[in-house]
Structure formats: structure tokens, C-alpha cells
Chain A
Amino acid sequence: MRGENIRFWLPVLALCSFSGYTSYKLVRAHLVPTTTEPKYDFKSEVVSSRGAIYDSTRDPTTGRNYPLVKSTPCWEFRLDPVAMTNVVVKVKGEKPRSREAMARTISQVLRLDYAKTLAMCNDTRNRYQFLKVSSDQRAHDVLKNPKYVAGVIVRDTHERRYFEDRHLAHVLGSVNKEGVGSYGIEQKFDKFLRGVPGRIRGKRDGQGREIVEKRVEKIPPVPGADVYLTINRHLQKDAEESLSQGIAEFGAAAGWCVILDAQNGEVLAMASFPDFDPREFGNAPDYAKVNRVTAFTYEPGSVMKVITAAAAIDKGYVRPDSLYSTDRYEKGPGGDPKYYKLPGDGSHVWEPRMSVKDAIVHSSNIVIGKLGYELGPTTLHSYMKKFGFGEQTGIELPGEERGILRAPERWDKATRSRAAIGQGVSVTAIQLASAYQAIANDGVRMPPRIVSKVLNADGESVAFGPTRAGERVVSVKTSRQVREMMLGVASPEGTARRAALRGYSVAGKTGTAQKVRGRSYAPGIYRATFCGIVPSGVVKRTPQDAEPVPPRVVILVSLDFEEKRKFHQGGNSAGPVFKRIAQGTLRRLEVSPDRPDELLEYDDDEFDRIMESRAKKVAEEDPMWDGEPLWTMD
């Protein structure tokens, strides 16, 4: 009986024990995995790929925009010399590889200096030495293979590649070693570009490898959004090359330029020199990091005269043909001076009376100063505000300056005439170009923008900022009258004949502003500017055309001199640079000429010669001309 019981209960017990134990293990393994030893748990972050930055031009074959910056998967190679010694590397039937042989292999596949690599291999005190970041598949395959080398640590990472090298460095900016945007678009749009990192939670074995079947959680990373700029990389390159050539030719210390679309205010190109290499942003000097188009303010000089004239015409105070005395000390009805301390005149053409139009063409300080004085601080200030001075334009770049435009109640009597000619106010280049864009766009100022859209990884558009509508600054009639007045500037009679373009009309204005040193103006040291609208928008291609050819671009060029130079005037230094940039821009944008006759009649050299000879003739006919070479005129 007893024996029968044992025979029955023993297998039952054994089966129960086995089942219980197995169930316990299963439950433990599947349902409560966290109850295992914590040292085998692991949680790691999966780095998300940073978004790319594209320009506005499209590849006709793929229909995609050209990338300017992109994150590329690559490998970071580091060296552990101790592991190199401990692990014997040999192929079956061969001798173990020596440290020298491994150093040679490393230096060959990573294209490093052999002597330096060998020195690193011998430096056993430092066990995590940086070799290189590379996306070379062959280097990865060789250095991961224990047949060839030991002690090389390979880590997956992403490399930020700037395809256009130094071009557009101030706009694109840079990322720091942690992959965080530290300047330019990279900084401003960092929260869109960086994406969301993923996560893996699970267990690893004794050697630290993940046990895939014990993975508890895997959240894939979300790649960063892509930023699309309004920049045209071809225009950008042309502009940078022309500008750097101009800086070298005229001996300037710095220079900057911006090209705006005349209709919608989009930035087509933006260049600033000195520049920097975005991959070496940390090593660049501070003065090179400044984007002089948006983050640098300066007295604009005579380019501001257009704004004063536009305000006076729009307000109905004057017409383009209204005559003003060029007498600086003009007396009023009571015999007292009519104006308070007018600025001296740098105009090379002297006439007892001058129209407003001629005042723009010859850049008369006295006439425009009188206009400003008559307008009064409140009106002039309100127009300057409407043109966008004294406040940020809102362009999508970090560190934008607002300039200095004091409240009208703080203007003294002298400021009335000084602000009118661009003294006593500080502006940024983008503000100036934007103000000219308003004149080009029939009086409607479109806020300048450099980012056209932001698309997430699914291709959906992401809202990145407020939508800003255009604002009417002056009437259509005023803007056309102002552009007509400006036509004469880039002509033999004007201050910028060297900015004239064969086949296209240019409405522009020069500015030669004295630089401030300490509390006064430094004699002979200037900042030259030329801002032009091409085509001018007031010239019909043929007399039979109903409408003139509309303006296409606004181009501003400034050269900053630190020393006295021969060609320091806006018309003679910034003007030729403008001309080069405009020629390239019009060619790239395939803008039809509005003066086709000039194309048929002259070639480029002939056109330049005629402009020079006509300018000389104009100067010789001027009774005030003292025989000075033409380049001194502005």
C-alpha cells in the first residue's frame, strides 16, 4: 500500500516541481523582467539625425533642392594603445602583427601621418585618443576587422557637412561639438533641426552586448526637420566672389552685400567679409563672426537721402522738379538764417538752384538737409520708422540689431538736417535694403525673410514664425517718382556712373559716410555704400509697352575702409562691385534687359568707355570743376 502511494505521489511531486519551477522562471522572465539584477539592465539613447538646410534652387533631374548643410552618418575612430598590446592580431599561419604594422594600416586607411599615428600607438597613458571622423566604408571595414588591427574603437556618429565650404557661413552658422546650433540658422532653428532622440531599454549580457530578445522598449528617433532658405547658391557664390574681389581691389578692411527680391523681400544672397569656416567656428576670431548685414549698425550716409526725398514727396511738400537754393546760409524773410547749421556739401556739381531730383543725382547735402529741416523731426522720424529703421526687420537670423533712431523729441535742431542725409542715425544693411525694396515694390515694404519653409521628416510644413504682411510706406506715385530721380545716379551725370549696366536701367544711390572715431568723425576714413534697384521699374522696353519692366532685385553693397584709400567713394568702390554682382544676378535670373538698344549698340568695354568720357565731359562743363581726377567725385 505504502509502496503504491510512493509510486503515485513521487512522479506527481516531480512533475509539480518541474512545472512550478518552469512557470516561475517563465513568469519571471516575461512578466517581471525588472526583478532581475539591475546591473544587466541598460537604457541607451538613440541619436536622431539633424535636419538639413537647403537653398531655393532645384535640381532639374531629381526635383529636389540643393542641400547646403546635411548630417551624414559616419564613424568616429579612437585608439586604445593598451588594447593594442593586449590583443594578439594575427592571421592563421602568419606572424602576429606588430604595433608598427598596425600603425601603418591605421595611417593608410585613415590618411593620417604615420609618425604621428605611431606616436599615438606608443602613448599608453592615454587610452582614448581621437584619430579621425570619417565616412569611408573601407576604413570602417579594415579597422573593425580583428585580423588587421586591435585597439581601434569605432563609434557611430553623424558629421555635419557644409557643402559650400565657407560660402554663406554667416547665414548657415555652425554647430558645437554637442551638435547644438551655435550660430546662424543652425542656432535660430535648432529646435526644428535637432529632432527627437530615440530610446532603447533592455538587458545586456556579461560582455555588455544587448540581449535583443530581452528588449523591453524601443522608441525610434524622430529625424530633425529640414529648413529651406530663400538663398540662391549661385547668386551667393557670385556675390561673395565679386565682393571679396572688390575688397581686395579697393583696399577695404571689410565688406558686405545683400540681394533682395524686389517684389517679396526674400533674401537671395547675403555675404559678409571677413568670414569664417563653419567647421572651425570655435577658432574663428570674433570680428569674423559678425554678420555685418544684420548684426552691425553704421551711419548710412547719403543713401538715406532717398528716404528723405520720398517722405517729402509723399507728404506733398515738394515735387521732383521743385527748386531749392544751394546757399548753405540762406536767409529767411526777417534776415535771420532760415536753416540751422546745414551740413557742408560734397556735391561735385554746383548750381545756385537745384531741383530735388538733381539733389539726389549729385548727392547734395544742403538741399536734402533743407528738406529734412522743413519736414520736421516728427514727420521724418515717422517715415523712417515706416521704412523700417530703428527696429528689427524680423529676419530669421539670430542677433539682429535694431539700429539707432532716437525719438523725435530728442532731436536737436542740427539732427533735423543731419538725419536727413544719413548722419546721427545708425542702421543695418538689411534695414537699408528693405527700405529700398519698399521703393522698388511701388511703396509696399515686405519684411525681408531668408527662410521659405520648414518641412518635418514626413514632408509636412511646420509653422516656424508669424506670417508678416507687407506694409504700405509711400504711395505708388511717390515710389515711381523716387525711382525716376534715382535713375540719374548711375549715369554719366550722377555719382555712380561705374554702377551703370549695359542693357539695364539702374535706380540707385551712393553713400560715402565718414566713420566715427571716438566722439568725432575721422578725416579721410569712410564707409562706402551703393544700393540699387535693377531694373529700375520706370523704363519701358519699347515706347509701345504699356508698363515699364518691373524691378527684379535690390542689391546693397558696402565697403568698410580702415585707412585712407584712393577709391573710397560709394560710386567708385561700392558701385563697381554692385555692377559685377548685378551682372551675374541678372544673368542667373534670366532677367530681360529693359534697354535692349544698348546691348545692340555697344559691347561692355565700349559702354564703359562712353560712360567715362561722358562723365568727364559733364565735369569739364561744370564751372566748379577744379581739374581733380574723376574718382574723387561723389
Chain B
Amino acid sequence: MRRNRKVSKRMSRISVHTMHIGAVMLMLFVMVILNLLASSSCNQLIKIVDQKEKTLQSCDAELERTSSKWDAMRSSDNLDRALVKWGLSMHSPSANQIIRIDASGHPYPGQTSVALLRQRVQGGYSAQVSTPAGGAARRRR
């Protein structure tokens, strides 16, 4: 009986230690498992992010390539070639061919272009009306 009591005392002490150690081990194990799960999840996310980054990069590159293509199409020489190709004879107007109008559709005063236009329409040119403050224009011979 005495021996049994001794054993049982020792056993109970061991079982307390075992429980502590077991709890710590279990906690450690759980932590490790959680860590592994988190790590795995992170890795998956990293891969997804990397994939998305690559997609974004390729989209950016595609955008750059397309905009470059568009810029090349609008270069001066290409525009000229396109005009020739479609038989369009176009060039910028000179200042006397530009008529600037206000919001109500009336031309701004003092424009040579307006004077020219009136001269062509009316068969005569009135500098008093059309040129700024009435320039002295000679009659066309």
C-alpha cells in the first residue's frame, strides 16, 4: 500500500509535468502548423501579386507600344504621305485666310481676311470698314 501510495504520488507528479509539457508541445505544434498555413497562403498571394504585376507590366508595355504606333502615324512625314495617298492637297491657311469670330458668329473687327472676303464678294475693297482704323489700300489694277 505504501509503495502504491509512493508510486501514485510520483505518477501524479509526472502526469502534471506531462500535461504541461504536452500543452507546450501542442501549442508549439499548433503554432508551427499555423505558421506553415500562413506561409503557404502568403506564398500563394505573392504568386498572385507577381502574376498581376506581370500582367500590369505587359498591359503598360502594350499601351506604350500602341501609343508609339499612333505617334508614328501622326509624324509630319506620315501625315504628308497620307495626304498624298488620298489625293488631298492641304496646307495651313495663311493669316489672311483666317477669319476669327466671336460667340455670336460676328467677325472680330480689324481683320484683313474679312476685308479680302468683302472685296471678293462685293467686287471692291473698303479699307475703312475692314482694315484696322481704315488702312490706305490701293485699288487693284
A: which residues have CB within 8 A of B? 8, 12, 15-16, 18-19, 22-23, 26, 30, 49, 59, 66-67, 70, 72-74, 135, 137, 161, 163-165, 167, 212-213, 215, 233-234, 237, 503, 541-545, 586-588, 590-593, 596-597, 599-601
In angstroms, Cα B60 to Cα A587, docked, is 39
Q: List 20 A-B contacts (CB under 8 A).
A: A8-B14, A8-B18, A12-B18, A12-B21, A22-B32, A66-B74, A73-B65, A135-B65, A161-B72, A213-B43, A503-B96, A541-B135, A542-B136, A543-B135, A544-B132, A545-B132, A587-B92, A596-B137, A597-B136, A597-B137
Docked-complex contact A590 and B77, CB < 8 angstroms: no
B126 → chain A closest CB, angstroms: 11
What residues on B are CB-neighbors of A586 within 8 Å? 94-95
What is the bound-complex CA distance between A600 and B139, given in angstroms? 8
CB pair A592–B35 under 8 Å, yes or no, is no
| Residue B103, interface by CB 8 Å | no
Partner of B61, one of A22, A73, A163, A592: A73
Task: For A599, give its contact among B14, B68, B74, B116 (CB under 8 Å).
Answer: B116
Task: Give the complex CA separation of A12 and B23 in angstroms.
Answer: 11
Given contacts A545-B132, A600-B116, contact A23 B137 (CB under 8 A): no
The closest CB in chain A to the CB of B69 belongs to A135
- The one of A16, A30, A73, A590 in contact with B95, judged by C-beta atoms closer than 8 angstroms, is A590
Q: Is A599's CB under 8 angstroms from B62's CB?
A: no
In the complex, A215 Cα to B46 Cα: how many Å? 9
Name the residue on B nearest A72 (C-beta).
Answer: B68
Query: Within 8 Å of chain A (Cβ to Cβ): is B98?
Result: yes
Interface digits, B92-125 against A, CB 8 Å rule (1 contact, 0 not)? 1111101000000000000010011001000001
Contact (Cβ within 8 A) A592 B32:
no
Q: Does A599 contact B29, Cβ atoms closer than 8 Å?
A: no
B9 part of interface (Cβ distance < 8 Å): no
Does B95 lie within 8 Å of A72, measured CB to CB? Answer: no
A163 and B65 CA atoms in complex are apart in Å by: 13
| Chain A residues with CB below 8 A from B74, complex form | 59, 66, 163
Q: Is the CB of A542 within 8 A of B133?
A: yes
Distance, CA A18 to CA B26, complexed state (A): 12
Complex Cα–Cα for A572 and B118 (A): 37
CB within 8 A of A600: which of B22, B25, B140? B140
Q: A59-B74, A597-B127, A600-B116 are in contact. List 7 more A-B contacts (CB 8 A).
A: A167-B77, A212-B50, A234-B92, A587-B94, A599-B112, A600-B137, A600-B140
CB contacts (< 8 Å) of B137 on chain A: these are: 596-597, 600-601
Contact A212 B46 (CB under 8 A): yes
User: B75 to chain A: closest CB distance in Å?
Assistant: 4
Q: Which of B36-84 contact A (CB under 8 A)?
A: 36, 39, 42-43, 46-47, 50, 60-62, 64-65, 68-69, 71-72, 74-77
Task: Chain A residues near B47: list those with CB within 8 A.
Answer: 212-213
Q: In angstroms, how far is the closest chain B Cβ from the Cβ of A135?
A: 5
On whether the beta carbons of A19 and B25 are closer than 8 Å, the reply is yes
Closest-by-CB residue of B relative to A544 is B133
